Each structure stands twice: as structure tokens, then as C-alpha cells.
């Protein structure tokens, strides 16, 4: 069975600090996909990134970067120079292909609060 752990329930930082949100996953499949979603205070979840298990290259998008390490089963998300608009709940999710369904399992989320 697949499982996603986001051990940090809430993180509080001051604007311009860097912050890393941790995501640890468990799966028996060799082919799987990892996702990050953002849920701002407005409530609607927004897709941020998808990675497959065969691509361990780190990804950078502006102030956002993702570090995928199969050796530690982690897919961590770093926000550089955080801003108040980054305040949100962030979810990590895992999809594996057992049975061909690729139904994602979500972590419990990390609430990020960025203070001005």
C-alpha cells in the first residue's frame, strides 16, 4: 500500500526566509509519480508539480524547487525568499500504478504561514 507522510503540521517563517517542506513516501512499485499541490486560504487546490520515479533531477521554477531522492524516499519542496502570498497548506501526493488505477494518496498537508 502506498503512503505519504508530511511530518510538519505547521511551519511559521518570516518573509524572505527560505523554507523546506518535507515529504516522505512509501511504495512497493518501481513506477510511481509524486505531486505537490497548494491550497491557499481561498480553499481551492492547485497543482504545482509532478515527477516520475525514473527522473531524479531536481526541478526549479522561480522561487520553488523540488528535491527528489529515491534513496531516502523523499520529495521535498523548498521555497526560497518566502513571501506572504506563499501562505497556504501544501499537500504531497503519490500515485502508483498497481492495478492500473494511479489513484493518488495524499499526505495530511503542511500549513505554511509567512509573516510580513
- 5: its cell numbers: 507522510
Residue with cell 525568499: 81
Instruction: State the minimum distance, in angstroms, from the CB of residue 81 to other proteins.
Output: 26
Rank residues 15 and 104 by Cβ distance to other proteins and give the closer one: 104
C-beta separation of 53 from 71 below 8 A: no
What residues pair up with 12 in beta bridges, in sequence order?
Answer: 113
* Alpha helices (runs of H) in the chain, residue ranges in sequence order: none
Q: Contact residues for other proteins (CB under 8 A)?
A: 9, 32-33, 35, 37, 42-47, 50, 52, 91, 95, 97, 100-104, 106-109
Instruction: State the minimum distance, in angstroms, from the CB of residue 104 to other proteins.
Output: 7
Rank residues 89 and 114 by Cβ distance to other proteins and give the closer one: 89
Rank residues 62 and 100 by Cβ distance to other proteins and give the closer one: 100
Alpha carbon separation from 6 to 15, 80, 100, 101 (Å, rounded): 22, 19, 25, 23
Instruction: State the minimum distance, in angstroms, from the CB of residue 18 to other proteins.
Output: 25
Amino acid at each position: 500500500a502506498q503512503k505519504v507522510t508530511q511530518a510538519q503540521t505547521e511551519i511559521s517563517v518570516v518573509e524572505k526566509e527560505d523554507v523546506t517542506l518535507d515529504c516522505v513516501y512509501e511504495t512497493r512499485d518501481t513506477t510511481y509519480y509524486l505531486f505537490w499541490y497548494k491550497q491557499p486560504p481561498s480553499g481551492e487546490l492547485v497543482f504545482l508539480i509532478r515527477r516520475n520515479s525514473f527522473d531524479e533531477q531536481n526541478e526549479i521554477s522561480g522561487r520553488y524547487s523540488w528535491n527528489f531522492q529515491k534513496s531516502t524516499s523523499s520529495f521535498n519542496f523548498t521555497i526560497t525568499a518566502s513571501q506572504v502570498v506563499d501562505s497556504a497548506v501544501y499537500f504531497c501526493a503519490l500515485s502508483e500504478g498497481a492495478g492500473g488505477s494511479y489513484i493518488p494518496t495524499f499526505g495530511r498537508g503542511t500549513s505554511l504561514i509567512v509573516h510580513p
